[in-house]
Each structure stands twice: as structure tokens, then as C-alpha cells.
């Protein structure tokens, strides 16, 4: 229990019917996303990626991805839909609670038309049919 790099962190791939969903939990960016993509053997219908509490990067990057890394991870997992999570409620970093979602919207507007990744910024209490 003293080694935080071996215990506590976790993500989930959830398969049901013909859908495959990935829940990232709290995570930094690394090659584990490539390993997960390879292990799944197919694209994800939806990925739930954390985007908040990512500043300052020098301090947060090991445990929290930000909007840029969340997009990169979603593309690595060949996701159809990215659902950002862990934003808008608590001020845990130097970024404001809504800052990461606003930044993600700016990044979304700069996406190439050929980019097939859909980004769905959902609100607290909202549900989504896949």
C-alpha cells in the first residue's frame, strides 16, 4: 500500500452487446494507451477521458492528462466518441473547473474535417445513448 505506482490507479474496458467502452480513471499519458489498444483488438465505441486538474503540467502530468493528451489517447484507442470527465466540479489544480472543457472545445474546432473522433462534452446528470 505504500507504492502508489502499483496500487490505486485503474482503468476499465467494458464490453457489452456489440459495444466497447473505455473508462480511463485518473491517468498520466504514456504508452499504456497503445498497449490497451493492441490488447482490445478493435476500436472503442466510447472513451471516458479525464481532462480536469491538469495544471501545472510539471506537477500534474504523471497523474492527470489534460485535453491535449485526452484527445491523443482517444485517437490511439481509435475511439468513435470521446466523453470528457473529471472537470467542472472541483478546483484541484491551477486550472479553473470549466477551463479544460473550454480548451477542449477550442481544440475540437481545430480538428481536421477528416478526423472521425466525435467529442461530446456532457453536463452533470446528462446521459447519452450509444
Under CATH, to which class is 13-119 assigned? alpha beta
Q: Average the pLDDT over 98-109 and give the result.
A: 90
Predicted TM-score of the model (pTM): 0.88
Domain residue spans of the chain: 13-119
Alpha-carbon distance 49 to 122, whole Å? 12
Q: Looking at beta carbons, which pairs linking 117-125 to residues 24 or more positions away fall under 8 Å? A: 117/71, 117/74, 117/75, 117/79, 117/80, 117/81, 117/82, 118/80, 118/81, 118/82, 119/71, 119/81, 119/82, 119/84, 120/81, 120/82, 120/83, 121/84, 122/83, 122/84, 123/88, 124/88, 124/89
pLDDT (tens digit per residue) in 33-74 = 999 999 999 999 999 999 998 889 899 888 889 999 999 999
Asked if 51 and 88 count as a contact pair (C-beta separation under 8 A), the reply is no
Q: In this predicted structure, what is the pLDDT of residue 1?
A: 45
Cα dihedral sign, 71-76-81-87: negative
Q: In this predicted structure, what is the pLDDT of residue 7?
A: 59
Amino acid at each position: 500500500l505504500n507504492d502508489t505506482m502499483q496500487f490505486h490507479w485503474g482503468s476499465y474496458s467494458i464490453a457489452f452487446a456489440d459495444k466497447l467502452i473505455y473508462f480511463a480513471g485518473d491517468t498520466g499519458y504514456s504508452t499504456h494507451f497503445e498497449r490497451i489498444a493492441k490488447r482490445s483488438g478493435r476500436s472503442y465505441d466510447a472513451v471516458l477521458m479525464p481532462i480536469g486538474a491538469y495544471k501545472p503540467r510539471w506537477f500534474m502530468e504523471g497523474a492527470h492528462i489534460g485535453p491535449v493528451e485526452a484527445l491523443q489517447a482517444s485517437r490511439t484507442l481509435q475511439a468513435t466518441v470521446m466523453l470528457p470527465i473529471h472537470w467542472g466540479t472541483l478546483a484541484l489544480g491551477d486550472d479553473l473547473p470549466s477551463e479544460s472543457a473550454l480548451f477542449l472545445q477550442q481544440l475540437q474546432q481545430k480538428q481536421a474535417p477528416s478526423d472521425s473522433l466525435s467529442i461530446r462534452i456532457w453536463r452533470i446528470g446528462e446521459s447519452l445513448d450509444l
